[in-house]
Amino acid sequence: MTDNLYQPTTLRIADSRDEAPDVRTFRLEFTDSGYRSEFFRRYRVGMFGLYGLPGAGESVFCVASPPTRTDHIECTFRKAGRVTSALQDREIGQTISFRGPYGNSFPVDSWKGRDLLFIAGGIALPPLRSVIWNILDRRADFGKVAIVYGARTVADLVYKQELAEWGGRIPTAYGGGTSSGYPSVGRLPTANGGGTSSGYPSVGRKDVDLTLTVDPGGETPDWKGKIAFVPTALKESAPSSENCTAVVCGPPIMIKLTMPVLRGLGFEPKDIYTTLENRMKCGVGKCGRCNAGGVYVCKDGPVFTLEQFQSLPQGDL
């Protein structure tokens, strides 16, 4: 099979790690080299796949790894119901079904030379992770990179190891400071001169400005980091909107409260991107499950600018 991406293929779980309570990342290897080639020919950051198990069904997750790594893909997902529970019961060495990549993507090439601001909440970091690694793999093409990421509690922050790499400081008692003035997580020891256990090269960088925050009431006693909702943390860090593109992923309430902050900072709706997570079934524009007015979120999305988002019937979102 090389050209029918509607037909599922089989992926082998090469690694599995827990990110947060009920949130797991699978590293997945293609068992069919033809499907793998076709996948990477088509895959761009922001696209999604349908991951499943015979008898249980399929679930939609973004592809959380960038197209610059072509030996595997990764997905990170929260146990929410029947399919995700069945998937989390799978172990290393076992297989799952997969079809994709589907949907549109972030226009990363059009962002060349611009500063980038990523804003994420909770489990919504995975769709941004693929973009962030894609940008870091092509670091010279872009200007400043800033990330504002928050979760309900410290335990709910996902990709703690990569946050440490991006933030470039030690997570000991979550102390230390960054150039943004916000405490951050840490620099990890690099194994073998640069590799890390996440499988990605250590960036340990000053060229990513990371702000981590947890919701008020969600901190633990040793958290010395920022305590604020994401929109508040963003407002306080007040990044410049000049020559900057913003990408926002998170729960609907976070997105709703973040957009006015970005507008207040001077970001134009055409320079703000987000992703929609309407319920889906076929994933390829056939069943009508995901519609927002005349727009198929599975085919025309899931990536939209705020300008496009505002033109959709809000009751369908």
- Binding ligand FES (rule: CB under 6 A), the pick from 69, 201, 281, 308 is 281
Least distance CB 258 / ligand FES (angstroms) = 26
Stretch that binds ligand FES, among 137-145, 171-179, 281-289, 309-317 (CB under 6 A): 281-289
- Strand ranges of the sheet holding 115-121, from the earlier edge strand across to the other edge: 226-227, 208-214, 145-151, 115-121, 244-249, 272-275, 303-305
Identity of the residue, 48 or 200, whose beta carbon is nearer to ligand FAD in the bound complex:
48
Stretch that binds ligand FAD, among 5-13, 33-41, 70-78, 208-216 (CB under 6 A): 70-78
Least distance CB 278 / ligand FES (angstroms) = 8
Per CB under 6 A, contacts with ligand FAD among 28-67 are 48, 59-62
3-state secondary structure 182-250: CCCCCCCCCECCCECCCCCCCCCCCCEEEEEEECCCCCCCCCCCEECCHHHHHHHHCCCCCCEEEEEEC
Whether the CB-CB separation of 67 and 108 falls below 8 Å is answered with no
Cα-only R_g, the chain? 19
Neighbours of 58 (CB within 10 A): 21
Identity of the residue, 83 or 188, whose beta carbon is nearer to ligand FAD in the bound complex:
83
Whether the CB-CB separation of 188 and 196 falls below 8 Å is answered with yes
- Binding ligand FAD (rule: CB under 6 A), the pick from 65, 84, 130, 245 is 84
Stretch that binds ligand FES, among 137-145, 223-231, 248-256, 278-286 (CB under 6 A): 278-286
DSSP H stretches of helix in the chain: 33-42, 82-88, 125-137, 160-167, 230-237, 252-264, 297-300, 306-310
CA–CA separation, 184 and 168 (whole Å) = 8
Identity of the residue, 81 or 194, whose beta carbon is nearer to ligand FAD in the bound complex:
81
Tokens (6 digits) for 211: 């702000």
Per CB under 6 A, contacts with ligand FES among 295-314 are 296, 298
Least distance CB 298 / ligand FES (angstroms) = 3
Stretch that binds ligand FAD, among 80-88, 104-112, 178-186, 253-261 (CB under 6 A): 80-88
The listed partner (ligand FES, ligand FAD, none) that binds 285, CB under 5 to 8 Å by sort, is: ligand FES
Least distance CB 294 / ligand FES (angstroms) = 12
Query: Length of the chain, please?
Result: 317
CA distance readout (Å), 141 to 67, 125, 132? 16, 22, 13
Least distance CB 103 / ligand FES (angstroms) = 9
Minimal CB distance to ligand FAD: which residue?
81
**Cα 46 to chain center, whole Å?**
8
Whether the CB-CB separation of 136 and 260 falls below 8 Å is answered with no
Least distance CB 18 / ligand FES (angstroms) = 29
Work out whether 270 is an interface residue with ligand FAD (CB under 6 A).
no
The listed partner (ligand FAD, ligand FES, none) that binds 304, CB under 5 to 8 Å by sort, is: none
- Binding ligand FES (rule: CB under 6 A), the pick from 7, 286, 311, 313 is 286
**Cα 58 to chain center, whole Å?**
20
What is the binding site for ligand FES (CB under 6 A)?
A: 280-283, 285-290, 296, 298
What is the binding site for ligand FAD (CB under 6 A)?
A: 48, 59-62, 76-78, 80-84, 123, 126, 277-280, 302
